[in-house]
Structure 1
């Protein structure tokens, strides 16, 4: 029988760790905590084979950070690193741990080390608490996500709000309940950038995913993990990019309530109601009994796959040129901060640092290469598959994969086992915009990835079906 264990750790950073990383922000450090940040780890096991999924309240982890976490967790659990998945919620109001924009980073290094230890300990705890579980999955819908690629009257594309743009309202839910019917853990999947809180926000926050998790747990029990979907072109709409905590509460509550409703309606064991007897009262009352068979007659095969997919790389700026630009921008930003420059000057300098840093990092990693290998990671159980990649897919890619998948419940998303940038669909390249400018991938890469992910899903489904048979 499938077994599961879940554990949680608090990974809220101290206020001495640089905050957020918005290009338009003028502050370096946060001034308080909106909600604590969580690391929630789910372990699944069957026939002695274990897999570990960690959900982290972070914007993203770099490829080296993801590799370190996977290796440390794998060593602690005695499994291969390929059986560990690191997922981030993509909150833009958490600690800035991705690069050294600011000179004073000792606190960041200390925080990262302590965070890694906490997550590894959390994984070990989850693995120790394995119990038999039954599984069910289903979908709801939520409208808080809006298309965020906005065209101005002059033709310029910005990251804003398109009220007529296509979105992906699907809310994916998975429940894992113990054999006595108690909810042990749940998965909540949704596609929307957690950018309700923007550059002016000075509080550490998990944004709407943190509120949604808390709502689910209050209404259903157990521990809730959030899985970010394909959000490259989806955001919180006209209420985004501000310091509106009421909007965070409202959006998270709407999403969490929809997920909780869906979870409460799911049946891990299908009902089999039978009429029992009549009790005479003021009316003749009919009593029914649920005669469902709770025995595990159909074991759910647990499958894990890690596959490399080759994606084309576009022409990039030479590495030395990109580095010089970045260092010049960084020096200017630091000079303004130290000398008390105006908010407008600091904001302009900071966004230039952010963009030049992305260009440099892409060149450092890929310059001179025609293509790059990225990892697609899959965890399949009970006609459910969790598929993740270390990029930011667009909603059309996510919907296409879900619709083509043979699994009854396919939860495909980005921000998995690291982060390498946006993966826009081909039609977006003609339009341009921020996502195209900052992506390392060439036109057609998204379609190539979708085709290969779909092929792997079909292969896994056939393997799952033959194992079940």
Structure 2
């Protein structure tokens, strides 16, 4: 069983000292309690700007509670499904004390069953421009050296725990940035690959990086005849974050971490919709 949900698994943060699957573990446990020990695969949706409403805590019970909410929501969807595959469609009106619309489940025809079991896959490459202000390997290396020097002086000056923590976090960010840009200086554009697998009316998209949630809402609106599952962090996160245009210039961490210039997400949305609608 596949569970596709768009939310960072960041219920637990720095106050937690345990290895944890966060809310995903409790979601799986909740579903297996009702359905038995079946395989349940979690696919993280477009959640570059989405986290738990109650998150960044150290209490494992909060992660368990978040997971139960998702697991119960999944079970409610399963409970509304027919026992056997069938299409729920309108039969017509019945004149009674009021005019009543009657619906019923109907078996799929042989042709419909063939269409619903058909499998296809596709990939599309899209060129996305890099930000102009990424800096260089030399500039980032210099910033790392500066932060390391500050750390050494902080050790002698007796920095507080918060000052030490902030310095470690900033160093980690710069090392991540160095990883991102070290292979980009000789490349003009980021080649972004969209991968899709379709089974009947269901589409699964495999996408690199962490996309803002508007990606999946806009793609689903434009491809209304199919159920679209969005899987992010596919093949890693080479582009890091993909923000919508209005989120640039606001001092957000996601912009600082991204290598893609403003408008890249919108280009990707347009390319995805075109691929799914036109092939």
Task: Output the CA distance in 1 between the equivalents of 2:23 and 2:64.
Answer: 7
SS at match of 1:298: helix
Structure 1 portions without partners, runs of 5+ = 1-185, 273-289, 461-469
Matches within 5 A, 1:435-446: 435-446=254-265
Number of the residue aligned with 2:128: 311
Number of the residue aligned with 2:226: 408
Deviation at 1:271, TM superposition (A): 7.9
- Residues 252-304 of structure 1: CA distance to partner in whole angstroms, max 9, x if unpaired? 001101101212322352289xxxxxxxxxxxxxxxxx996898961211112
- The answer as to whether partners of 2:196 and 2:205 remain within 8 angstroms in 1 is yes
Number of the residue aligned with 2:47: 231
Number of the residue aligned with 2:190: 372
TM-score between the two structures when normalised by the length of structure 1? 0.50
Number of the residue aligned with 1:383: 201
Q: CA RMSD in A?
A: 2.8
Structure 2 portions without partners, runs of 5+ = 89-104
Task: Output the CA distance in 1 between the equivalents of 2:204 and 2:106.
Answer: 32
Identify the match of residue 214 of structure 2 among 384, 389, 396: 396
* Greater RCO, 1 or 2 (C-alpha within 8 Å, sep 6+): 2
Task: Output the CA distance in 2 between the equivalents of 1:291 and 1:375.
Answer: 39
Matches within 5 A, 1:282-321: 298-299=113-114, 300-315=117-132, 316-321=134-139
Number of the residue aligned with 1:269: 85
- The answer as to whether partners of 2:86 and 2:106 remain within 8 angstroms in 1 is no
Number of the residue aligned with 2:24: 209
Judging by fraction of residues, say which structure has more helix.
Answer: 2
Task: Output the CA distance in 1 between the equivalents of 2:139 and 2:121.
Answer: 42
- Structure 2 residue 65 is the aligned partner of structure 1 residue 250: yes
Change (3 A) 1:405 1:331: farther
Identify the match of residue 195 of structure 1 among 10, 25, 39: 10
SS at match of 1:365: coil
Deviation at 1:224, TM superposition (A): 1.0
Matches within 5 A, 1:418-429: 418-420=236-238, 421-429=240-248
TM-score between the two structures when normalised by the length of structure 2? 0.81
- The answer as to whether partners of 1:309 and 1:375 remain within 8 angstroms in 2 is yes
